[in-house]
Amino acid sequence: MAAGTRSLLVLLAAALPIHAADPAVDSEDRERVKTVARISPAVVAVVTGGGSGVLISEDGYALTNYHVVGGQGPALRCGLPDGNLYDAVVVGLDRIGDVALIKLLPREAGAKFPHAVMGDSDTVKVGDWSLALGNPFLLATDFTPTVTFGLVSGIHRYQYPERGMFEYTDCIQSDTSINPGNSGGPLFNTRGELIGINGRGSFDKRGRVNSGVGYAISINQIKNFLGHLRAGLQVDHASLGAVVSSSPEEEGSRPRVLVSGLISSDAERRGLQLGDELTRFAGRPVGTVNQFKNVLGLYPKGWRVPMTVRREREGGGTETRQMLVRLMGYERQVQGEAPKPPAPGRPKPPGNPDGGKPAADSPAMKLFEARPGFANWHFNKLARDRLLAGLTAKTDLSSTTGDWVVRANAKLGEKGREGTAVIRWAAGTEGMPDRVMALIDGVDFTLEPLKTDLPAASLRDPPGSGGMLTALYHFRQLMLKGKSGFVGESSHGGVEPYYPPLEKEPDDLFKARLDAEIIRASLGGVDTRFQFTTGQGGTRLAGMESVLDKEEDPCEIHFDDYREAGGKSLPFKISVFHGGRPYCRLEVQSWDLK
Q: Over the chain (594 residues), what is each successive 10-residue block's mean pLDDT?
A: 52 54 75 96 95 98 97 96 97 97 96 98 97 87 93 93 85 90 95 95 56 89 98 97 85 81 94 96 94 95 96 89 93 41 48 48 95 97 98 93 97 96 92 92 94 87 97 98 92 97 85 95 95 91 96 97 93 97 97 96
With CA atoms as reference, report the closest residue to 213 among 227, 223, 203. 203
- Shared domain for 400 and 433, answered yes or no, is yes
131 and 38 Cβ atoms separated by less than 8 Å: no
On whether both 265 and 364 belong to a single domain, the answer is: no
Q: What was the pLDDT predicted at 349?
A: 46
Residue 164 lies in a domain: no
Work out the burial of residue 310: count CB atoms within 10 Å of its CB; fewer than 13 is exposed, 13-18 middle, 19 or more buried. Answer: middle
Question: Sign of torsion, CA 45 50 54 60?
Answer: negative
**Residue 231 φ then ψ, to 5°:** -85, 15
Measured CA to CA, the distance from residue 544 to residue 577 in angstroms comes to: 10
Q: Using the 3D structure, point to which of 329, 360, 395 is the last residue of a domain.
A: 329
Find the radius of gyration of the CA atoms of the chain.
Answer: 29
Cα 18 from chain centre: 56
Question: Domain of 309: which CATH number?
Answer: 2.30.42.10
- What span, in angstroms and rounded, lies between the C-alpha atoms of 96 and 583? 38
Residue 128, C-beta contacts closer than 8 angstroms, at least 6 positions apart? 151, 152, 189, 190
- Please indicate, yes or no, whether residues 480 and 551 belong to a single structural domain of this protein: yes
Based on the residue annotation, tell me whether 98 is a catalytic residue of this protein. Answer: yes
DSSP single-letter state for residue 214: E
CATH of the domain at 458: 2.50.20
Helix (H, G, I), strand (E, B) or coil at 553: coil
Specify the pLDDT at position 251.
52
Helix (H) or strand (E) holding 24: helix 23-39
Residues 103 and 245 in one domain: no
Task: Give the integer Cα–Cα distance in Å for 565 and 569.
Answer: 6
Q: What does the alpha-carbon distance between residue 471 and residue 96 come to, in Å, rounded to a whole number? A: 33
Identify the active-site residue in 87, 94, 98, 170.
98
Tally the C-alpha atoms within 13 A of residue 55's C-alpha that lie toward its C-beta: 26
Identify the CA nearest to 213 among candidates 204, 222, 225, 226: 204
Judge if 400 and 549 occupy the same domain.
yes
Domain membership flag for residue 408: yes
Whether 260 is a known active-site residue: answer no
Q: Are 125 and 152 in contact (CB under 8 A)?
A: yes
Range of the domain at 293: 238-329
Whether the bond between 582 and the residue before it is cis, its omega within 30 degrees of 0, is no
Please tell me the total count of domains within the chain: 3
Active-site residue identified among 67, 115, 474, 492? 67
Q: Which of 174, 177, 183, 362 is catalytic?
A: 183
Q: What pLDDT, on a 0 to 100 scale, did the predictor assign at position 262? A: 94
SS (H, E, C) 264-318: CCHHHHCCCCCCCEEEEECCEECCCHHHHHHHHCCCECCCEEEEEEEEECCCCCE
Strand 193-203 versus strand 117-118 pairing type: parallel
Report the 3 state secondary structure along 492-518.
EEEEEEECCCCCCCCCCHHHHCEEEEE
One domain for residues 539 and 404 = yes
* pLDDT for 500: 94
Q: Are 216 and 271 found together in one domain?
A: no
Q: Are 434 and 572 in the same domain? A: yes
Does the annotation mark 553 as catalytic? no
